[in-house]
Amino acid sequence: MARIDYYFTPLSPFTYLAGERLEEIATRHRVDIDYKPFNLMEVGKHTGFVPLPDRPEARKTYRLQELKRISEYVGLPINLQPKHWPTNPVPACTTIISAQMVGGAVGKLAHRIMRAVWLDDEDMAEDHVLRKCLEDCGFDAGLTDRDMLSAVEIFEKNTNDALNAQIFGSPSYVVDHHVFWGQDRLEYVDRHLAKH
């Protein structure tokens, strides 16, 4: 059975704007999702990723226009200048990984954490924010600090897996060794799965 390897960082507004469409596609095609939060900055060192502050003004301006357009198109409101961004993504990533280890609505949790940043002006590096997100999605709030060593090891493995899969941005979806980059490629993921 096909599986979707979902590489992402919750720091990405484009990942937030994917919403829960991936979960809808996976449900429709009866495939599993392997959530793989990864270190985009580390991957970027090997793949040519340019951090936002280092981009030309034209690209920065276009990014804001594009985020506004996508937000309106998909019906997800977004704060284009969140107060707590950028922030340390590792606590959020390890929380998502811990949730996947116990099972449950991981996609809902990932989206809830991103909503905290991109809509509610909260800091996803803060323990109380992550605990609230976990509770909102039916998880034990204590997952934020349970088995952290294993979660960090998986986070590092996900980063290596991303490099091996030739991932260079977030969100990225891998199905049958095909890479689909960007929330606007979810339709392509859907069409690819329909062939199975």
Q: Could you tell me the pLDDT band of residue 145, with boundaries at 50, 70 and 90?
A: confident
pLDDT of residue 11: 96
pTM: 0.96
Q: Are 173 and 185 in contact (CB under 8 A)?
A: yes
Q: Could you tell me the pLDDT band of residue 196, with boundaries at 50, 70 and 90?
A: confident
Lowest mean pLDDT among 9-13, 76-80, 144-148, 158-162: 144-148
CA–CA distances in Å: residue 83 to residues 20, 89, 117, 120, 143:
24, 15, 8, 9, 25
Q: Are 58 and 66 in contact (CB under 8 A)?
A: no
pLDDT in tens, 39-98: 999 999 999 999 999 999 999 999 999 999 999 999 999 999 999 999 999 999 999 999
- Assess whether pLDDT exceeds 70 at residue 1: no
